[in-house]
Structure 1
Amino acid sequence: MDDAVRTDGGGGGDWGRRALLGTSLGLAAGLATGAPAWAGGGPGRPCRRLPRGGIGMHLYTMRAALAQDFLGTLERLAAIGYATVGVSGRHGHTADAVRRMLDGVRLKAVLEHVAYDVLRGPGLGQALADLHTLGAAWPVVPSLPGALHSPAGFREAAREFNRIGRAARDAGLGRLLFHNHGSDHVVVDGVNLYDVLVTETDPDLVGFELDVYWAVKGGAKPGSYFVRHPGRFPALHVKDMAADGDFADVGSGTLDFAAMFDHARRGGVRQWLVEHDNPTDPFATARNSYRYLAGLRY
């Protein structure tokens, strides 16, 4: 099944009904498809906005708060307005326990980060079963071992990605996704490492959770990937860059998200997951970033 549609991981009916509460019929159509909604601007004016059901939080941002009060943190994210989360560490909770907490506050897990060595080893079956339990669609490789950072190493990873992606599909999940860092965009012996993964993986089995901060940090242009490789990027890590190159709350830094997202639909983006690697106050970051994305017109 096409994972660009099946982001419900098997439990989407109840989530879809919750997402539609309090919305107009026009916005409901946008949420149901995950496509950008139309705000109706006049000629020459920005008229697109992000679907509210597509604005999520990658929970790595909230790791300190989650370690203290997992359920309370989820409650506060839901109250801010977030609809979805990317799971990155369960802080001692089982997948079933996390699912119950998410359901209780009406949040939807869309993906989970799982270590590469787990997915390529005997832990693959349990990892995929846990995705089903969470109600998420996409297993995500968060990074590759440093020893693989060469053209040959990335080609080996591409072969493994295809195998894992096939297993995910056979298990009734969406494609395997890869989350990038700046070092993944370097050129080694004339070869761009990230491009190896994009061009040598099967588009039906493997997609990408593009971290736009790390892409820019590594010298890449996220919008160009959306154009050159349509449909390959169902999820983004939306992370801003401060003037000094550090992390910033979304909307407070230097990245031009309006221009970047202009091609997001072509790239297949369905989820915009906020992330900040080192927030001083994670809840302030969550509020500031949500407010910016919910109000963005482009």
Structure 2
Amino acid sequence: MTNQVIARVLVGLGLVCLGSPLMAQKKAPLPNVPGMVSYTYRQSFQRNVAATLDTIRAMGITDMEFSNLFGKTAAELRQLLDERGMRCSSFGVSYPDALTKTDEVGANAKALGAQYVRVAWIPHEAPFNLAAAQKAVADFNQIGKRLKEQYDLTFCYHNHGYEFHPAPEGTLFDYIVQKTDPRYVSFELDILWTVFPGHDPVALLRKYGSRFALMHLKDLRKGVAGNLSGGTPTENDVALGTGQAQLPGIIKAAQQAGVRHFYIEDESPNIATQVPQSLAYWRQVTR
């Protein structure tokens, strides 16, 4: 029996509506070229925004996640992107700005053309604890609700490694995911900051699926021992495929989970050689 015949039968039984898909749609194909986090080129952006965008565009990268306006207005930065056929899909801001300047953040994100607003660090005194996680949950729900209802933006939290202290839910990261409202709060999975504290990105992607909207493609130098500090020297960022992360499985799980944007982030001083290596590796494992 063909899908069309099955669909007509189900419609007749009232089990599906006309125009709805008979089966779940396949996940979108992975991009030929991933996006880029502006922090990778932070020193170059501080010197010359336009020239840095030219460098990134020359590698075929058109999707950006900005964490800084680099002295430009959002409108000025948007114009530079438009002139190069590039876009900003995600706008990273500090936790305090997201909480106390939500309208300014929302307006800037819309001016940039972003769909997502991302926070990557929860201010806290080490070790990260339940009280800090509880406050973050309340704040994230508030921020996410306002950004969604007033600006049609999706708020995302980016893990940074310190959230994996044990908790009844599993870890404090589990607590944050489970206690935030999925209507208003999504997540950006950073591969390095999942591997460094000793956790499995594939397991998290399978566990929380579509809660992960974004991903930082980032590899950790082999032999580096991790911890729950949320910090490691930038030299421990290495080209994709040369470190500890089991990237083919992670990328496959991310696609199955429905991750929408993948961004290379390399904090090391070796981006001139490592970014091209990472791009070549992405093409190799996704073709």
Q: TM-score range by the shorter chain?
A: 0.7 to 0.9
* Secondary structure of 1:234 counterpart: strand
> Deviations for 1:76-127, whole angstroms, at most 9, x for unmatched residues?
1111011201101122111111111111111110111111111111x11011
* Secondary structure of 1:204 counterpart: coil
* Secondary structure of 2:192 counterpart: helix
Moved over 6 A (4+): none
Partner of 1:262: 252
> Aligned partners of 1:190, 1:160: CA distance in 2, in Å?
20
Alpha-carbon RMSD across the aligned residues, in angstroms, is 2.0
Of 118, 125, 130, the residue aligned with 1:140 is 118
Partner of 1:25: none
> Which runs of 5 or more residues in structure 1 are unaligned?
1-32, 38-49
Q: Which protein shows a greater Rg?
A: 2
Does residue 243 of structure 2 align to residue 253 of structure 1? yes
Total equivalences in the alignment: 251
> Aligned partners of 2:74, 2:262: CA distance in 1, in Å?
23
Bigger relative contact order, structure 1 or 2, given CA contacts below 8 A and separation 6+? 1
1:250–1:83 Cα change, 3 Å: same
Equivalent pair of 1:77/1:286 in contact (CA under 8 Å): no
> Deviations for 1:131-186, whole angstroms, at most 9, x for unmatched residues?
00000011111100123821122012111111111111112333210111121212
* Secondary structure of 1:284 counterpart: helix
Alignment-mate amino acid for residue 279 of structure 2: Y
Partner of 1:289: 278
CA displacement at 1:254 relative to structure 2: 2.6
1:111–1:67 Cα change, 3 Å: same
1:173–1:34 Cα change, 3 Å: farther
Partner of 1:51: 31
Partner of 1:75: 54
> Deviations for 1:6-25, whole angstroms, at most 9, x for unmatched residues?
xxxxxxxxxxxxxxxxxxxx
Partner of 1:221: 200
Partner of 1:204: 183
CA displacement at 1:270 relative to structure 2: 1.0
CA displacement at 1:292 relative to structure 2: 1.4
Of 233, 258, 266, the residue aligned with 1:276 is 266
Partner of 1:13: none
Of 147, 156, 165, the residue aligned with 1:168 is 147
Could you tell which deviates more after superposition, 127-136 or 235-244?
235-244
> Deviations for 1:41-84, whole angstroms, at most 9, x for unmatched residues?
xxxxxxxxx2226x100110100111122111111111101120
> Aligned partners of 2:286, 2:96: CA distance in 1, in Å?
40
Alignment-mate amino acid for residue 295 of structure 1: Q
* Secondary structure of 1:231 counterpart: helix
Equivalent pair of 2:63/2:86 in contact (CA under 8 Å): yes
Alignment-mate amino acid for residue 176 of structure 2: L
> Aligned partners of 1:66, 1:34: CA distance in 2, in Å?
37
> Which runs of 5 or more residues in structure 2 are unaligned?
1-24, 225-235
Among all aligned residue pairs of Structure 1 and Structure 2, give the percentage whose two residues are the same amino acid: 26
